[in-house]
Structure 1
Amino acid sequence: MDFSFNDEQQMLLDTTRRFIAERYGFEHRNQVRASAEGWSREVWTQLAELGLLAINIPEEEGGIGAGPVGTLLVGNAIGEGMLLEPFWSSAVVATHAIVRMASPDQRAAWLPALASGESIAVLAHDEASTRFEAMNVETRATPSGDGWALSGRKSAVYHAPAANLLLVSARVGDGLGVFAVAADAVGVGLAPCVTVDEQRAADIVFDKVALSADSRLGGEARDSLQAVLDYALAALCAEAFGAMDRILAATLSYSRSRVQFGAPIGSFQALQHRMAEMLMHLEQARSMSYLATSRCTDPDPAARHAALSAAKMLMGQAARYIGQQAVQLHGGMGMTDELDVSHYFKRLLAFELRCGTTDQHLENYRRQLRAA
């Protein structure tokens, strides 16, 4: 299989990497992390100016239309830089949901603002009941007058405090729907928190939120919502690979400079074996990330979901091994805030738990094999 990229794709990757290297160094990230919002509106505007917020918007609607491969490459660079801005939540997940599910009028109203960075949208889907089955949604939308009344709770919605538009999954009778809700609507309550990987999230309560009749994105949303979640998972895998690649590079560099017993620790055979294992996990993760990207738009839902579960499972194992070994090989320094390794470790720890854990995806893959 040919894994080479064309000139436009390579330019997209190089542009993102250059931006992160020049404007989002580790010290700058620390300043952003310590700010009240936990992310930078200035950086968000700069990402929009580079066109990166429009990579999942079709060209005919004013976007770049870079698709899964473009999202993979930008995700790799964002994972390397550990960006705290809501790129994955808004420019990937929510934007893809709107492109896939929204009406032409809704797309015309929302996509330009998302591309320019003026608007930030997030998909509010996860609940306590969806930890093991993605479609177990208890939030409910009921007809009310000419519109809807929305009630329920969503858990740990990444970047919800930054969003002005919430795309909320809800049960409608025996089916599922996705509804557009203004973040400041009456009846919407956010309980912000800081995640283990230093990003901002919130639990959200919807208390009989009144919605207009045209707030629903399309009709029955089960299949479309699952397709959006699979696309989102592939993008998350791309970010995780970028973090794994960078933490391994940092570990190799440290092993060459750290001297113990009169020799660099990288010359010790036992540690060489561990770093070789890390490299093997990294290369497997690279392949799995490419698999996720190549299959995330597969029209066969069962085959797509199985491939994404396989990728997330193996990448989760790789993230745990590479992250733990990197910290151990750095010794006590590996856990300090002053060293970027500890922050990459937390990013990888969160990755293994997000969008389904390693064990959950292993079980899902087993079910898919038995069903086949």
Structure 2
Amino acid sequence: MDFSQTDEQKMLQESVKRLLERSYDFETRQKMLGSGHPWSLEIWQALAEMGILGLPFAEDIGGFGGSMADIVAVAEPFGAHLLIEPYVSSILLAGPCLAQSDSPAAQAQLSQIIAGEQTAAFAHEERKGTADPSLVSLTATEAADGSTLSGEKRMVLGGAKADVLVVSARTRGTAPDADGLSLFMVDPTQEGVSITPVVAIDGRHAAHITFDGVQVPSEGRIADDAYDVLQAVISRAIVALCAEAVGVMGALLRQTSEYASTRKQFGAPIATFQTISHRLADMKIAYLKARSCLLYTTALMDAGRAGAQDISILKGQIGALGRDIGEAAIQTHGGVGMTDEVSIGHFHKRILMINALFGDSEYHFRSVGKSLATADA
């Protein structure tokens, strides 16, 4: 397997870096958050014009047929700049679910998403850390002209301002049955949908959404027996989220190294103190371990060889190593590292948020342990 980026991937990554360095520095991001806007429409449209929004989708549906390595190439600078735009929620979670459907309504919706004209949100989490789709319990009851949805979804990224919701629901059985799962396309403005906007600790806008007897027509049912679809979509999103986290780790390492080289105590840069120099070395080792694990898992996925255990190893490692790097960066900066005016604390919050999505590091390490114990039995 080749772990190096292609020339095209390097150019793609550099193009995204230049856009964000020019238009998305930390101060600009903070002003946008302070204004109450969930994300920048200008940046979103720029990403659409660059083809980034169409990157994960097949060419026959208007995309560019990008590989997992292509997505990772753009996700790293997204993390380094703390992007709050709904790329993961709209393009990597909801979008691929819509792409599974032959429904003309779903395909029309996806075309608008790729063009940057609308956004979608993936309503899946139910306060259980549902990395495993079989834990879904929101019910979909058969009706004369479609289905009726009842239940609650939590922490739906981009859900407060989305133009369409992609909802995972159970048409039969009970959790943790893998059978009986379906996907629905829901208009967030229709009767019975109640949306409570929230802001996550990393600045991204999300929502808690309640479905109280929501009527979904038959054309809104976009997939049945959806366990495998959900598993594949979530696995790819986890790899992209881990790439964001690695981008965050790289930014933390660079900024902490620069700070330690310029901050002086007793007439010398603190980077020359043994404790600080050892901490910086540990941060670099952790970053290299995290990025190596990311590149290996990405190559496995593009080769069609990534299993659930590989995804769990990556998610667990990224969560644990990222937390170590974030804490070391804050300790090196001292009290200023916890202030809103400095980016260090915000980077750490993004790592914590990524760790919490689709199962934290402890959840995934336990999953690896269980799979190894089963294999040995």
Q: Does 1:286 align with 2:299?
A: no
Q: Secondary structure at the match of 1:53?
A: coil
Q: Please give the residue correspondences for 1:100-111 in structure 2 after superposition, counting only pairs within 5 Å.
A: 101-103=100-102, 105-111=104-110
Look up the SS of the partner of 1:356 in the other structure: coil
Kept in 2, the 8 Å contact 1:291–1:307? The answer is: no
DSSP 3-state at the match of 2:212: strand
Give the aligned partner of residue 271 of structure 1.
276
TM-score, normalised by the number of residues in structure 2: 0.94
Letter of the 1:184 partner, please give it: T
Report deviation, 1:335.
Answer: 0.6
Partner of 1:168: 167
Contact 2:133/2:227, CA 8 A, preserved across alignment: no
Q: Give the match for residue 330 of structure 1.
A: 333
Per-residue displacement from partner, 1:241-285 (whole Å, max 9, x unpaired)? 000000110000001100001100011122111110110100010
For the residue of structure 1 that corresponds to 2:222, the secondary structure is coil
Give the equivalent residue in structure 2 for 1:136: 135
Q: How does 1:89-104 map to 2 (within 5 A)?
A: 89-99=89-99, 101-103=100-102
User: Between Structure 1 and Structure 2, how many residues are aligned?
Assistant: 369
Partner of 2:229: 224
Larger deviation: 231-240 or 90-99?
90-99
> Which residue is 2:177 aligned to?
none
Question: Unpaired runs of 5+ in structure 2?
Answer: 174-179
Q: Which amino acid aligns with 2:8?
A: E
Matched, 1:342 2:345: yes
- Corresponding residue SS for 1:142: strand
TM-score normalized with structure 1 length: 0.95
Q: Trace 1:230-249 onto structure 2 (pairs within 5 A).
A: 230-249=235-254
Distance 2:301 2:186 in 1: 27
- Deviations along 1:268-305, one digit per CA (max 9) or x if unpaired, are 122111110110100010012113323346757xx611
The 5 Å alignment of 1:177-216 reads: 177-216=182-221
The whole-number CA distance in structure 1 between the counterparts of 2:308 and 2:368 is: 8
For 1:292 and 1:235, the matched residues in 2 are separated by 11
- Aligned partner of 2:2 in structure 1 is 2
1:31 aligns with 2:22: no
Residue 39 of structure 1 aligns to a residue whose secondary structure is coil
Q: Percent identity?
A: 37
SS state at 1:162 partner: coil
Write the distance in 2 (CA, Å) between the matches of 1:358 and 1:111.
Answer: 32
Question: What corresponds to 1:254 in structure 2?
Answer: 259
2:357 match = 354
5+ residue gaps, structure 1, are none
Over 3 Å counting, the alpha-carbon distance change for 1:304 and 1:33 in structure 2 is same
Paired residue type of 1:244: M
- Given that 1:297 and 1:304 are in contact with CA atoms closer than 8 Å, whether structure 2 keeps it comes out as no
Change (3 A) 1:298 1:202: farther
Give the aligned partner of residue 73 of structure 1: 73
Give me the CA root mean square deviation: 1.5
Q: Is the 8 A contact 2:106 2:185 kept in 1?
A: no
* Distance change (3 Å), C-alpha of 1:14 and 1:266: same
Tell me, in whole angstroms, the C-alpha distance in 1 between the residues paired with 2:260 and 2:134. 46
Quick one: structure 1 residues 205 and 297, their matched pair in 2 at CA, closer, same or farther if it must change by over 3 Å? farther
Q: Does the 8 Å CA contact 2:92/2:233 hold for their aligned counterparts?
A: no
